[in-house]
A and B are shown apart, each in its own frame.
Chain A
Amino acid sequence: MAVGASVAEGLPSATEGRGGSWPGVSVAPTFVDELILEVGEEAGRLLGCLQCGTCSSACPLAAYMDLTPRRLIGLVRAGAREAVLGSRAPWVCASCYACTMVCPKRIPITEIMHGLRRISMRERTFPRRFPTPVMSREFVSMVARNGRSTESLISLKLYLKTDPLLLVRNARTALRLLRQGRLKLRPARIRGRRELRTLLDAATG
């Protein structure tokens, strides 16, 4: 995957962001309120965003995002709900918190990224065939069932569901790990699986 291609593909055209008109972009003025409910009061600090771009310059993955953190925050404030929830930027985020640390307005950008992931997951607007949403779902269903995650099985499922070719590409590394005793193939399970299930149900309830 070439860098250039991954950046250009699926980008809501750059002119759309710069121009005054927003063809095809629906605006929801209550989007910030929704995000505050989802993430917490601190998310409201995005209203004071200076659009300085320090977040985007600190982000190690900005080059791979269709919308950089600065643009994403700007679009949230503008109420461009659809553009934001259809973006893959939150799913590219590695949760390294570099942006959150440098933001002069102390906007909890990483937490906002996670909040956007949750909304797009609920409304099924997340980018299709992009691996991280698949990964998150597989991870959650495995841990809900077993109480623990088993790296090998999650990777396997992810590869099968997104790009089976990766199985071949990563086979050598996997075999070396296996030889060094660093790849468990049997699923790890806790004893309190039923207890965990009850806890998770009660937490959402």
Chain B
Amino acid sequence: MTTMPASADTHTYPYYPGCSADGVGRGFAGSLHAVFERLGFPLVDLVDWNCCGATAWPSVDDSQALALGARNLALAERARPGSEPVDLVASCAGCYRALLRSAEALARGPTRSRLAGALEAVGLAVEGRARPRHPVDVLVNDVGLDRIRAAVVRPLTGVRVVSYYGCQLVRPLSTFDDEHDPVSMDRLVEAIGAEPVDWPLKTRCCGGSCYCGGPVIGAMPEATMQLSYLLLREASRRGADVIATVCPLCQFNLEGFQDQMARRFGHPLDVPVAFLTQLIGIALGIDDRRLGLHRLLRWRPLPIRTVEPEAAGHARR
């Protein structure tokens, strides 16, 4: 089981936004901050963090790729002196994977000394206290579903949510959920009163992977569109009102090219794709702008079913 955040008095987490947080993933970082703050676990941005290297850097030089993550882990430890573990929250699945790889390399003999030496050259060190955590993991296992349920002021009753976990959230080094059939997101969807829709493509690659949607659409338009289309079609077929994502690249990849896919495959597509934290934020009564709903390219108000007052208490369960 996971432990509570490092400094127990404040319950804050150091946060690694990743490069997309300022670009296509803007609605994610904003809603994440708002939701964690409302739940009493504010996120504090890591100072002067650097890019994780994605999968582009391991394609060129792996020692350097691991060093990039090591610097971020070292910065997180420096920001939280002491002997407690430091949970570094990383919201992009690609960053999360890259940081986990660095943490693993720092824990193992062959790569450890080289990385430690590189860090030492710039006056940094890693004791091994820093642990990359994904916000879905933190919400389910640290914050807890009970606390989230109790904070819901506007349950998303009747809203059918398909959770798309994406490929790199639950593998290869991530351990908080099952790598083939994860459930954490669905449990969160349930906690905010919505209806989780089961489907077989939870972790099937969307084609965006570690390159942002633009470049992959650019690199292999046919392949990317096929992969995304498969997901969007299945979600529509199962009557999803919205697809929930937790990675800026998946979100953009699924949201941004639906018209092109509809033309290409001759089948209309119109499925809103939001960040799960935006849906949680709506249920917690957080302002739409703060959640960045206006930044989505394909958004419409959720079909929240109004319930009779006596039934409302039941729906909150």
Contacts and interface: CB of A to CB of B under 8 A. Distances in A.
A47 interface: no
A176 to B, nearest CB: 6
B256 interface: yes
A60 interface: yes
A147 B226 CA distance: 33
Interface residues of A, number: 69
Interface stretch (B22-30, B37-45, B134-142, B300-308): B22-30
- Complex A-B, nearest 6 residue pairs according to Cβ-Cβ distance, in ascending order: A96-B167, A96-B205, A203-B67, A131-B219, A139-B56, A94-B209
Contacts of A184: 22-23
A70 to B, nearest CB: 18
Nearest to B167: A96
A3 B63 contact: no
Interface stretch (B6-14, B154-162, B183-191, B210-218): B210-218
B26 A182 contact: yes
Interface stretch (B232-240, B267-275, B291-299): B291-299
24 contacts: A1-B221, A60-B205, A61-B227, A92-B220, A94-B167, A94-B207, A95-B209, A96-B205, A97-B172, A98-B203, A110-B172, A148-B51, A151-B20, A154-B215, A170-B214, A177-B256, A180-B296, A182-B252, A188-B22, A191-B48, A192-B50, A199-B118, A199-B124, A202-B117
B236 to A, nearest CB: 19
Q: Which of A94, A97, A196, A200 has the most CB of B within 10 A?
A: A94
B144 interface: no
B62 interface: yes
Contacts, number: 203
Nearest to B218: A166
Given A150-B19, A196-B71, A203-B66, A121 B215 contact: no
Given A101-B179, A135-B211, A202-B117, A96 B50 contact: no
Interface in A156-205: 158-159, 162-163, 166, 170, 173-174, 176-177, 180-184, 188, 190-192, 195-196, 198-200, 202-205
B59 A148 contact: no
A102 B180 CA distance: 9
Contact of B122 (A2, A132, A199): A199
A101 B180 contact: yes
Nearest to B174: A97
Given A40-B110, A151-B20, A143 B26 contact: no
Given A6-B222, A173-B256, A114 B24 contact: no
Contacts of B296: 180
Interface of B: 19-20, 22-27, 48-51, 53-64, 66-68, 71, 110, 114-115, 117-119, 121-122, 124, 167-168, 171-172, 179-180, 203-205, 207, 209-212, 214-223, 226-227, 252, 256-257, 294-297
B220 A199 contact: no
Contact of B214 (A137, A151, A192): A151
Given A140-B57, A182-B23, A155 B297 contact: no
Nearest to A174: B214
Contacts of B60: 117-118, 121, 136-137, 140
Main secondary structure of the interface of A (DSSP, over half): helix
A151 to B, nearest CB: 5
A64 B220 contact: yes
A51 B165 CA distance: 29
Contact of A148 (B50, B61, B64, B114): B50
A57 interface: no
Nearest to B19: A149
B222 to A, nearest CB: 5
Q: Which of A97, A184, A203 has the most CB of B within 10 A?
A: A203
B215 A203 contact: no
B50 A190 contact: yes
A152 interface: yes
Contacts of A68: none
Interface string A114-144: 1101100100000000111101110110010
